[in-house]
Amino acid sequence: MSTAVAARFDVARVRAEFPVLARAVRNGKPLVYLDNAATAQKPRSVIEATRSFYAEDYASVHRGVHFLSERATVAYEAARARAARFLGAASPSEIVFVRGTTEAINLVAASYLRPRLQPGDEVLLTTMEHHSNIVPWQLACEEKGAKVRVLPIDRAGVLQLDQLPGLLSDRTRMVGVAHISNSLGTINPVREIVEAAHARGIPVTVDGAQAAPHLSVDVRELGCDFYACSGHKMFGPTGIGLLYGRAELLDAMPPYQGGGSMIANVTFEKTRYAEAPARFEAGTPDIAGAIGLGAAIDYLGSLPWDAVEAHEADLLAYATARLREIPGVAIVGEAPAGQKACVISFTMEGVHPHDLGTVVDQEGIAVRTGHHCTQPVMDFFGIPATTRASFAFYNTREDADALARAVRKARELFG
């Protein structure tokens, strides 16, 4: 995408849609929010959709015949239809509402993988996975006597795809891969990985938590079997997320949890389960969260995505260059242009990331410090933690300048 396309993006208009971006924080400093990989801020349309539901249309869904229940049900299922279109699913029935990416992956590990896993089987992950795309598979493997294998990365934070064929085997029962690394920003070639796995009849689960807010996702084009993402990273509410699963796979999976709404008929002798996706949505769901997520999807759909992608690419290049100018700063994860999203993890010689984060916070800048739930990544690079600045489309070059000034201040403070 060209700089000219990025220049057409009206970031001031977009920022005006996010109330929190106008507030002051530490010492009266204006907020510079660069923690978007952890969670994104919410536009007015999402806030209003949630408020309106609670104020005017609140009721439980599916089981009521009264006016409010009917309205709530229509809004809830409309959000599912929006999510299906957003991810490119063939049908709304391929979308399961979950609490977030973590629950989505746990659902797949418990309902799809566990019944199919035998001693000696394998699950293939990558070094850069978030703990949410490691631990659920580990739990299943430990229970069944299977093992996890790992596709490594190189020093740039890019997958060593030449090793993929040798790691896929007749015992591989699942491949799990992040679409975008939350700690490195690397955009992985998911379609290529899916094609290699499917050539051997192996299903693929994609952690799309970081990709859904930044890329145009089409699950059928990717060819993946499962795709998980979180509403709160997509400028929607917390506590709600999406699991896409191919219809034939969801239909063959047993329930993840038992309770109301996921049944067709219950007796003490036997229970018959509802069809997917209701089978995986036991209990009263997060109705307001789903409606808010639907509003977030509508908001994302209103944006000019060619300009958004160009704007974010410009931010990544500009902020990276500014940070590289600072003595002692080292960027962790330097995938080539076009293969990296708006995430910059870095260290500063002689300064612990937590200390750096504290100084930066005093300047009104929100970044994240720690291992970012990717301890294997930190182990690979031989570091305990990084400082991570993660940008969204509402960020600006001025935000990057503010970050650079704060990091320089920390450099001066710590010598």
Residues marked active site are found at 373
Q: How far is CA 31 from CA 27, 102, 215, 361, 402, in A?
A: 11, 29, 26, 9, 10
Asked whether the beta carbons of 213 and 235 are under 8 A apart, the reply is: yes
If you search the block for the tokens 């710590």, which residue do you land on?
A: 414
**Alpha helices (runs of H) in 178-262, residue ranges in sequence order:** 190-198, 219-222, 247-252
Cα distance between residue 366 and residue 34, in whole Å: 5
Pairing label, strands 95-98, 241-245? antiparallel
How many CB atoms sit inside 10 A of residue 412's CB? 9
Q: How far is CA 141 from CA 124, 135, 174, 200, in A?
A: 11, 10, 11, 20
Q: Pick the closest to residue 209 from 188, 193, 195, 191 (CA basis).
A: 188
CA angle 395, 400, 401 (to 5 degrees): 130
For the chain, the straight-line distance linking the first and the last C-alpha, in angstroms and rounded, comes to 39
**Residue 1: CA count within 13 A, CB half-sphere:** 20
If you search the block for the tokens 């299906």, which residue do you land on?
A: 84
How many CB atoms sit inside 10 A of residue 8's CB? 12
Beta-bridge mates of residue 263:
273
